[in-house]
Amino acid sequence: MADLIAGAKQEGELTIIAVPHDWCRYADIIDSFKAKYPFLKLNELDPDAGSGDEIEAIKANKDNKGPQNPDVIDVGLSFGPSSKAEGLIQPYKVSTWDSIPEGQKDAEGYWYGNYYGVLSFEINADLVPNPPADWPDLLKPEYANMVALDDDPRSSNMSMQSVFASGLSASGGDPDKAAEAGLSFFAELNKSGNLVPAGGNAATLAQGTTPIVLRWDYLALGDRDTLNGNPPVTIVVPKTGIVAGVYVSAINAYAPHPNAAKLWMEHLYSDESQLKWLEGYCHPIRFADLVKNNKVPQALLDKLPPAEAYEKALFPSLEVQGKAKEIITGKWAEVVGANIE
């Protein structure tokens, strides 16, 4: 750390990209980084950039040593391996490396998961006093015209993953059979009249149009805070078919400020920042390790679904995700026949 700090002092700056202050409590993480390293000028590029935009920023600024070239990126899982293959990122293993799960990091340190969410049921408790506990429950007659995806699974990754998760449950946990099983499940859900042909969100949940919405847990937990009891919101992580979606961090291979970039990584993967992500309802990649070592305050755990609900979460490989997407988007019209608008 002493060498990193000395090198970063010489560099004097750090450039980050796609880090909105209202996402996962990033504002607090940025403020604490500034307080910890006041000698660094922090440049913030396009907070609302998508993963593809971040990669393009690296490509466009390979020879640029100014603040238009991002030192670090925060991207969707698939962009980690692809960026490594293109030579766009460089390896660095943070000091807490061993507590990052094996399947959620590149063995050579080119990229590593930072936070994730799992698919959950966001429920209007006024209209659904008896909430479903697992995917098969959604087929019960009591949930007629209540269950909603956030959008059409042919265009929404969250909805596509919801179909995959339901199939993971129906197939007994077999990821290779989950896509087909998920399509069959949603065909039955649609035929029974339980599937609402409209995209669900906090507003439609509150209005009662979509009393049960299939949603990433961190979005659902954020909605719960926003709605503030009007109506009361229940969030359920299903007992089976628990699917996680991961974002990853990496350092630009052409980073103008490589030492400052490594300091940023050390900051992100510290207990302090990992817990800040959790306060923003984004499960930090080191969550299991933090819980195991009693580092998560009880008051924070009380605001979340039970920790054990996440222990069986599946982090689908890129290959599995790609195959599932192809099957679900290709066969949705034929098998399910529902248009979600």
Residue pLDDT, tens place only, 193-239: 999 999 999 999 999 999 999 999 998 998 999 999 999 999 999 99
- Runs of H (alpha helix) within the chain: 2-11, 26-36, 51-60, 79-85, 157-170, 178-191, 202-207, 217-227, 258-268, 271-279, 287-292, 298-301, 318-335
Residue intervals in the chain for CATH 3.40.190.10: 2-114+244-307, 117-243+313-335
**Between 26-36 and 271-279, two packed helices, what is the crossing angle to 10 degrees?**
150
For residue 156, the model assigns a pLDDT of 83
Using a pLDDT cut of 90, give the percent of the chain over it.
81
Query: Is the pLDDT assigned to residue 95 strictly greater than 90?
Result: yes
Q: Is 135 exposed, middle or buried (0-12, 13-18, 19+ CB in 10 A)?
A: buried
Q: What are phi and psi of 75, to 5 degrees?
A: -130, 165
Phi and psi at 229, nearest 5°, equal 85, 0
Q: What is the CATH number of domain 2-114+244-307?
A: 3.40.190.10
User: Residue 309 and residue 64: Cα distance in Å, rounded?
Assistant: 46
Residues 6+ apart with CB under 8 A from 43: 13, 14, 15, 16, 67
pLDDT band at 284 (very low <50, low <70, confident <90, very high): very high
Question: What value does the mean pLDDT take over residues 291-297?
Answer: 95
CA-closest candidate to residue 260, choices 134, 147, 92: 92
**Continuous segment of H or E residues that includes residue 310:** none
Does residue 120 contact residue 235 with C-beta atoms inside 8 Å? yes
- The secondary element (H helix, E strand) that includes residue 112 is strand 112-124
pLDDT at residue 275 tops 90 = yes
CB 89 within 8 A of CB 248: no
The least confident of 22-26, 123-127, 149-153, 202-206 is: 22-26
- Which residues lie below 8 Å from residue 56, measured CB to CB, with a gap of 6+? none
pLDDT at 125: 98
DSSP 271: H
CB 16 within 8 A of CB 70: yes
| DSSP of 57-94 | HHHHTTT--STTS-SEEEEETTHHHHHHHTT-EE----
Question: What's the confidence (pLDDT) of residue 39?
Answer: 97
117-243+313-335 maps to CATH 3.40.190.10:
yes
pLDDT confidence bin for 171, thresholds 50/70/90: very high
Q: Give CA–CA dist 339/260, Å, rounded.
A: 48
pTM of the shown model: 0.78
- Cα separation, 198 vs 153, in Å, equals 12
Q: How confident is the model at residue 311 (pLDDT cuts 50, 70, 90)?
A: confident
Give the Cα-Cα-Cα angle 233, 192, 223 (nearest 5 degrees). Answer: 15
**In degrees rounded to 5, what are phi and psi of residue 14?**
-145, 135
